[in-house]
Amino acid sequence: MATQTPYEVLGVKPTATADEIRKAYRKLAKEFHPDLNPGKPAAEARFKAVATAYDLLSDPEKRARYDRGEIDESGAERPRYSYRPHAEGAQGWKYQPEGEVDIGDLDDLFSMFGRGGTRGGGRAGEGFSMPGPDRHYSLTIDFVTAATGGKQRLSLSPDQWLDVTIPPGIEQGQILRLKGKGGPGLGGGPAGDALIEIHIAPHPFFRREGDDIHVELPVSLAEAVLGARVPVPTVTGPVTMTIPNGSDTGAQLRLRGKGIHRKRRGAETSGDQYVTLKVVIGASDDPELAKFLEDWAKQHPTEPRREMGQGTPHGAAA
Amino acid sequence: MIGFDELVRRFAGLERGELVRWVENRWVLPEEPGGETGKRWVFHEVDVARVELILHIRRELAVDDEAMSLVLGLLDQVYSLRRQMRRLCDALERQPPEVRDAIRRALPKAGGDGP
């Protein structure tokens, strides 16, 4: 239990007038006076407390100091609670205004005076500063660049451009962010970013499915029937591929690892290239070939449209 | 750490309703154990010192509630800056002498036009 305040000892309110205090004191002093209560230590103690309380409250200056918390109920100086050491100490963070600068973050410190962490800002530092706006661009790149990656220049005006690094395997519609390449900041604020939306031009013969490349490869009748080694374009340049004899249109061959190479979180992955054969006759008006086929067809009737419910090559439908 | 009643008793010039209002104004931020509001508030030393400061400003400088918000807002900003400055000073003190010298040379004279 905390000690009683002198007001409580005298049984008066803290707002009591000097007169009320005097009356309360006289009443209590009479009641607990040692001479009137011989052999009663409790009464004596009470009398002393009352006297001490009255001593303090009857003196306007002491009472005011007590009210301000400068002295305690016995009249002793109370250590003054200066706010500063508390405010500057560890506990002071509690009263940190919201959104206040955090010096632990140097960018925050620099931005406090409107600089982007580099020199500059200078005189403008007194005023207002803000980061520059983001700028939006679109850039069309060719299929092979999209697949293999590379540098591509984006012209902004005749004498202004951005060199954009295209990562391998970039997707249609992907947006590249070039930090600090947008609009300039005001008053030393940092520049905005350039946001570049990528469009990939279609390729005459390559097609992409994820990291795999698909290509349709025309082969001659002889190559299909007899087999051959033929050059095949890939996104990284031509390679030689073996076509097995007896291949037909629609046969699919795989060139392992000839798709899109990329590094994903440190690991390298690569897709494949799928080559679909398409037999082209080429010399279809060659009399020699026609002559050969006339004899050959007679001996080798085939039904290529059987699955469509049609008859023989020279069927009744004709 | 002291409770609400003890704090009110400590400063005889402080009225209960007044202290409640200060807490509601968020001029003083006591702990609320168990998330309960009201009389279970716990005041740390910094809070007690702050109560005394507010009491002093209010009584002796006759600052009213509205002006008090402004005064405390500015005061908190100043102390916030002083705390930040102290952190910066602590960091500078830990630097090797050549770094400190370089910073000293780079510092413009107060009121001057820069380095």
At A125, list the tokens.
């530092």
pLDDT digits (tens, 9 = 90+) for B12-35: 788 889 999 999 888 999 888 765
The more confident residue out of A3 and A245 is: A245
What band does A315 get if pLDDT is binned at 50, 70 and 90? very low
The Cα–Cα gap between A242 and A233 comes to: 13
Q: Is A70 helix (H, G, I), strand (E, B) or coil?
A: coil
Q: Is the same domain home to B2 and B55? A: yes
* Per-residue tokens: A8: 């409580």
Residue B13 shares a structural domain with residue B56:
yes
Select from B10, B75, B86 the Cβ nearest to the Cβ of A69.
Answer: B10
Both B1 and B20 in a single domain?
yes
Contact with chain B for residue A90, Cβ under 8 A: no
Nearest neighbour of A87 by CB, restricted to B6, B9, B79:
B79
Q: In what order do the strands lie in the sheet with A135-141?
A: A135-141, A194-200, A175-178
A172 touches A200 (CB < 8 A)? yes
Per-chain mean pLDDT for chain A = 84
Burial classification of residue B103, based on how many CB atoms lie within 10 Å of its CB (0-12 exposed, 13-18 middle, 19 or more buried)? exposed
Element (H, E) at A273: strand A273-280
Please indicate, yes or no, whether residues B16 and B49 belong to a single structural domain of this protein: yes
Looking at the structure, tell me whether residues B14 and B54 fall in a common domain.
Answer: yes
Among A173, A176, A143, CA closest to A162: A176
Q: Check whether residue B8 and residue B58 sit in a common domain.
A: yes
Is there a single domain that holds both residue B46 and residue B74? Answer: no
B112 lies in some domain: no
Residues B34, B52 within the same domain: yes
Closest CA to A237 of A206, A276, A210: A206
Q: Looking at the predicted complex, does its ipTM rise above 0.90? A: no
Look at A118-122, A171-175, A307-311 and tell me which has the smallest mean pLDDT.
Answer: A118-122
In a domain, B113, yes or no: no
Which superfamily is assigned to A135-200 in CATH? Urease metallochaperone UreE, N-terminal domain (2.60.260.20)
Distances (CA, A) of A164 to A135, A143, A266, A295: 14, 16, 22, 62
**Chain A residue with minimum CA distance to B88:** A103
Among A1, A12, A21, A68, the residue to mutate for chain B (most B Cβ within 10 A):
A68
Whether A6-67 shares its CATH topology with A135-200 is answered: no
Residue B91's pLDDT is 85
Q: Mutation test of the interface with chain A: which of B50, B51, B55, B70, choosing the one with the most A Cβ atoms within 10 A?
A: B50
Q: Which residues of A touch B88 (CB under 8 A)?
A: 103, 109
Selecting from B45, B73, B114 the residue whose C-beta is nearest the C-beta of A97 gives: B73
With bands split at pLDDT 50, 70 and 90, how would you rate the model's confidence at A71? confident
Per-residue pLDDT, A96: 80
Please name which of A198, A199, A230 lies closest in space to residue A215, comparing C-alpha atoms: A230
Domain that holds residue B3: 1-62
Chain A residues with beta carbon closer than 8 angstroms to that of B11: 67-69
> Looking at the 3D structure of chain B, how many domains does it have?
2
Cβ distance A208 to A166 under 8 Å? no
CATH of domain A206-302: 2.60.260.20
Long-range Cβ pairs for the range B14-21 (8 Å, 24+): B14/B51, B14/B55, B19/B51, B21/B65
Residue B40, domain member (yes or no): yes
User: Measured between beta carbons, which residues in chain B are less than 8 angstroms from residue A81?
Assistant: 45, 48-49, 52-53
The shortest CB-CB distance from B46 to any of A5, A86, A101 is to A86
Q: List residues in chain B touching A: CB distance below 8 A.
A: 6, 9-13, 29, 44-46, 48-50, 52-53, 55-56, 59, 73, 75-77, 79-88, 114
Residues of B with CB below 8 A from A87's CB? 46, 49-50, 75, 79, 82-83
What pLDDT sits at residue A144?
93
Q: Are A283 and A272 in contact (CB under 8 A)?
A: no
Contact in structure between A80 and B63 (CB atoms under 8 Å): no
- pLDDT tens column, A123-158: 444 456 778 888 888 899 999 999 999 898 888 877
Is B46 close to A87, i.e. CB distance below 8 A? Answer: yes
CB-based contact, A126 to chain B, within 8 Å: no
Closest CA to A228 of A247, A252, A250: A247
> In chain A, where are the structural domains located?
6-67, 135-200, 206-302
Contact A164, A153 (CB under 8 A): yes
- The answer to whether A315 contacts chain B (CB < 8 Å) is no
List the single residue in B46, B82, B114 with the smallest CB-CB distance to A91: B46
In the numeric block, the tokens 């097995």 are attached to A244
Cβ contact, residue pair A102, B12, below 8 Å: no
Answer for the pair A274, A266: CB distance below 8 angstroms, yes or no.
Answer: no
Query: What is the band of B94 on the pLDDT scale with cuts at 50, 70, 90?
Result: confident
Please give the pLDDT value at position B31.
86
> Do B99 and B44 share a structural domain?
no
Q: Is residue B114 part of a domain?
A: no
Judge whether residue A316 has pLDDT over 60.
Answer: no
Answer yes or no: do B48 and B86 share one domain: no
Radius of gyration for the alpha carbons in chain B, expressed in angstroms and rounded: 20
DSSP state letters, chain B? -EEHHHHHHHSTT--HHHHHHHHHTTSS--B-GGG--STT-EE-HHHHHHHHHHHHHHHHS---HHHHHHHHHHHHHHHHHHHHHHHHHHHHHTS-HHHHHHHHHHSPPTTS---
What is this structure's pTM?
A: 0.43
Rg (CA), chain A: 48
Q: Is A42 on the interface with B (CB under 8 A)?
A: no
Class of domain A6-67: mainly alpha
Bridge partners of A151? A165
| A14 part of contact set with chain B, CB < 8 Å | yes
